[in-house]
Structures are given as C-alpha cells and as structure tokens.
Amino acid sequence: MGFVLAAAGSAVGLGNIWKFPYMAGQHGGAAFLVVYLGLVFTIGLSVMLAEFAIGRAAERNPVGAFARLGGRAWSVVGYVGVAAGFVILSFYSVVAGWTLAYVVKTATGLLHGASPGGLGRSFGAFVAEPMEPLVYHGLFMILTVSVVIGGVARGIERASRVLMPALFVLLLLLVARAVTLDGAGAGLRYFLAPDFSKVDATMVSAALAQAFFSLSLGMGCMLTYASYLAHGEDLPRLAMRVVALDTLVAVLAGCLILPAVFAFGFDPAAGPGLAFITLPAVFSRMPAGDIFGTLFFVLLAIAALTSAVSMLEVVVAYFVDERGLGRTRASVIFGLVIFLLGIPSSLSMGPWKDFTIAGKGFLELMDYLASNLLLPVGGVMMAVFVGWVIHPRAVAEATSDGTHRFAWAPLWRVICRYVAPVAITWILVGGL
Ligand code: TRP
C-alpha cells in the first residue's frame, strides 16, 4: 500500500491536471486522448513494469542499477535519468510555485467579482511580474528539499493516504460543475468525440511524450521507488494500478478543464497558462468558490510535491550512493542548482516572453527537450535492457520467481523487444 501510494504520488501531479488538458487542447482533443490511451496501456505500462523489474532486481539508484545488472556501459541510461531530473524539476517547480501562489490568491479574494477575462489577465500579470513567481518557485524547492532530506518521506506518505483521495473527490465535484456550465457541451465533444483527421506525427509524438511525463517514466523514478520494494510483491499488478489511477486522474482533469474552456470562451491551445485561468473561472461560478478553490490548489500543490520529491530523490540517490555525498548536503546543493536552472523558465512566461526558439519559450523548450527526447530515449533503453539483456531475470522479478501468474508475459516481451524500441524511435525521429 505504501509503495502504490508513493508510485502513484510520483505519477499523479501537474502532468495530469496542468499539462494533460493543455496538451489535449493543442493537439486535437479527443483524437489526442485516444492515441494517448493507446500508448499508455501498451508502451507506458510495459516500460513501467520494466522500471519496476530493474529497480527491484538491482536494489539501487538508476546509475548503480544499470551498472550492476548490465555492466558499466549501461549506466549511461542512469545518467540520462539524472540529467532529466535536473531539467524537468527546474520548470516543474516553477509551475508548482504558481500553484502555491494560487492557494494564497484564491484564499484572499482573487475570485471576488472576477470575470473570466479578468482572471486571464490576472494570470498574465502575475507571471509577468518577475519577483512573485520566483519567490514561490524558491519556496516550492525549499519544501521539496526538506522532504527529501527527511529520507524516504514518511510524513508525506501518510498524508497522501488522505489527501490523494480528497483530491480525487474534489475533482469529481468540479467535473460536475464544469460540465453543467452553459456551453460546456462543445468542450465535452471536443474532448470525447474523436476527429481522426487530427492524427499526425507531431500529435503522436506529443502523446508519447505526455505518457512518459505523466507516468514518471524514462528517468528512473519508478525504478528507484521499486528498489525499496519487498520481494514477492506482484509487480504487474502494481504497475497496472498505478497506470490506471494516473490515467483516470488525467481524463477527469480533461473533463473538467476543456468543457470549462469552451464555456468561458478561452482558447484550448493557450498553452501552459490554461489551467490557471480556467480553474479559477470554474471556482468563481460555484457556491463557496473561495473555499473549494483554495482547497483544490492546496491539494494540487501537495500532488506536485510528491512528484517533485520523486525527481529530486533520483538525483540525490545517485550523488549519495555513487559519489559519497551526504544526503542533506546533496539535497541542498542540487535543490539550489535546480532552483537556479528554473529561473529562465519562470522569466520566459513574462519578461522574456518574446525570446523563443522554434516558437517555444524557455519553459516549453525545457519541457520539450526532456519529454520528447530524454524520457523516450531513457524509455527505449530500459525496454531494450529488459527485453534483450536481462530478460529471464526480469520475468523472474515480474512473477516473483514463478509465484504469481503473469498472463501477458509474452506480450510484455514482444513490446519490450520490438514494439517499444521501434515505435519510440520512429515517433522520436518523426516528432523532432
Ligand atoms: N509524473 C509527474 C506528473 O505527472 C511528474 C514526474 C514525476 C515526472 N517524476 C517524473 C515526469 C519523472 C517525468 C519523469 O506531474
């Protein structure tokens, strides 16, 4: 139970509630959802199980795990993961900082008399003013570092037991409000009635990137958590649970945000600000919206914290286990480095808005490089490693030496050996 909570805590976060709806909004709505679901339950689930099997077999951080099971050359996979940890957490913490800021803003009257257009402008003004978002980014990194210093987050784990179900219930309530707004029907159709002419290489690669991001795959988070797992646990079942839970939350977030986007006349392709203008607009149309809004942003900040902790944990575990740094020291130093790396991402939403590369600001560029390149590359190598290098050992892990039934073992083998490497490479090349 603790492990499912920790792994689900890593998976469920801003990726589901902030990123998924705007990705779906930019890439054709329902067609994106269908492609996303297809990728999640084939490649995503298989790579999740691969990370679990590698982690539990090696009982190490990602760099050490690959070195132990496959020899020095394979440890490069672990390094890709550590690098991805730096890059992703740097902008993730910026967005998590927005969440903290919105806790305060909704609690102190943001919604009073606000129109949807006004809420859009107030988000724009917030990210344009450089200091405030930076302070919240710093605050969020301090929270993340504090949890990681405490070792494998007991308190957070215990808290998640109550808070994650609370987030889920609140989401259901908000979906009910959003779909009954005037004009929400168009948004529901957009999200649930697929138009397959929207499927192209860019969209498929965006869906794959989103699958890796949302499931925390490709950088060794799941591998690291599984390394603490007892032998005898049924890995395929755990993988299935985590994947199903994460996907359910993403779909609910889509059913909340997209109908509201259409009802309020926002642009579904607005990008990273979408959730932060749409959610307050939904709260402003509910009785006791201040209270629901504040509560929601608190729960979202905690969901983001459990994800951020899993990323920093990979970085710290590497420097502690392989480089002999103390845990506190490693957490503080790399927390600070990641904070600094996040500054350009934060500025890119405001003062540096006009500085773009390939049409993307710095924050979106960091996200793109990590999610479309580092994570899929990490994922391919993990699949290949399990499919070709340690296959018998991996199956022994997945079945706990034959004590569990594992009906889809042959399918897992085919996906790890052929489908995932070929499909991911093809998607990577096509997308880039
Ligand atoms: N999956 C988390 C989310 O959806 C973010 C996250 C945590 C992540 N660990 C990761 C993303 C590892 C990529 C890789 O918010």
Q: For 376-430, write each residue's pLDDT tens digit.
A: 999 999 999 999 999 999 999 999 999 999 999 999 999 999 999 999 998 888 7
How far apart CA 239 and CA 323 sit, in angstroms, is: 31
Q: What is the pTM of this model?
A: 0.96
Q: Whose CA is nearest to atom 6 of ligand 1?
A: 216
| Closest-lying ligand 1 atom to the alpha carbon of residue 304 | 15
Length of the chain: 432
pLDDT at 139: 98
Ligand 1 binding pocket mutation candidate from 17, 48, 88, 223 (most atoms within 8 A of CB): 88
Average pLDDT over residues 114-118: 92
pLDDT at 103: 97
How far apart CA 278 and CA 272 sit, in angstroms, is: 11
Ligand 1: distance of its center to the CA of 214 in Å?
A: 5
Averaged pLDDT of the chain: 94
Written in H, E and C, the secondary structure of the chain is CHHHHHHHHHHCCHHHHHHHHHHHHHCCCHHHHHHHHHHHHHHHHHHHHHHHHHHHHHCCCHHHHHHHHHCHHHHHHHHHHHHHHHHHHHHHHHHHHHHHHHHHHHHCCCCCCCCHHHHHHHHHHHHHCCHHHHHHHHHHHHHHHHHHHCCCCHHHHHHHHHHHHHHHHHHHHHHHHHHCCCCHHHHHHHHHCCCHHHCCHHHHHHHHHHHHHHCCCCCCHHHHHHCCCCCCCCHHHHHHHHHHHHHHHHHHHHHHHHHHHHHHCCCCCCCCCHHHHHHHHHHCCCCCHHHHHHHHHHHHHHHHHHHHHHHHHHHHHHHHHHHCCCHHHHHHHHHHHHHHHHHHHHHCCCCCCCCCECCECHHHHHHHHHHHHHHHHHHHHHHHHHHHHCHHHHHHHHCCCCCCCCCCHHHHHHHHHHHHHHHHHHHHHHHC
| Closest-lying ligand 1 atom to the alpha carbon of residue 370 | 13
Ligand 1 and 175: CB distance under 6 A:
no
Ligand 1 and 213: CB distance under 6 A:
yes
For 40, the token pair is 């999640």
Q: Whose CA is nearest to atom 9 of ligand 1?
A: 216
Ligand 1 and 311: CB distance under 6 A:
yes
Ligand 1 and 11: CB distance under 6 A:
yes
| Closest-lying ligand 1 atom to the alpha carbon of residue 307 | 7
pLDDT band at 354; cut points 50, 70, 90: confident
Q: Whose CA is nearest to atom 12 of ligand 1?
A: 216
Name the residue range of residue 360's domain: 2-431
Closest CA to 17 of 213, 291, 199, 201: 213
Total domain count for the chain? 1
Ligand 1 and 243: CB distance under 6 A:
no
Q: What is the CATH number of the domain that holds 155?
A: 1.10.4160.10
pLDDT at 428: 84
Average pLDDT over residues 84-103: 98
Ligand 1 and 263: CB distance under 6 A:
no
Ligand 1 and 46: CB distance under 6 A:
no
How far apart CA 27 and CA 325 sit, in angstroms, is: 43
pLDDT beyond 80 at 45: yes
228 vs 315, residue with greater confidence: 315
Q: Give Cα separations from 118 to 123, 125, 266, 428 (angstroms).
A: 9, 10, 12, 39
pLDDT tens profile 168-203:
999 999 999 999 999 999 999 999 999 999 999 899
Q: Whose CA is nearest to atom 4 of ligand 1?
A: 15
pLDDT at 353: 86
pLDDT band at 153; cut points 50, 70, 90: low
> Angle at Cα 325 formed by Cα 302 and Cα 59, nearest 5°?
70
- Cβ–Cβ < 8 Å for 221, 314: yes
Ligand 1 and 294: CB distance under 6 A:
no
Average pLDDT over residues 37-43: 98
Q: Whose CA is nearest to atom 10 of ligand 1?
A: 216
Ligand 1 and 88: CB distance under 6 A:
yes
Ligand 1 and 308: CB distance under 6 A:
no
How far apart CA 175 and CA 179 sit, in angstroms, is: 6
pLDDT beyond 80 at 154: no
Average pLDDT over residues 242-266: 97
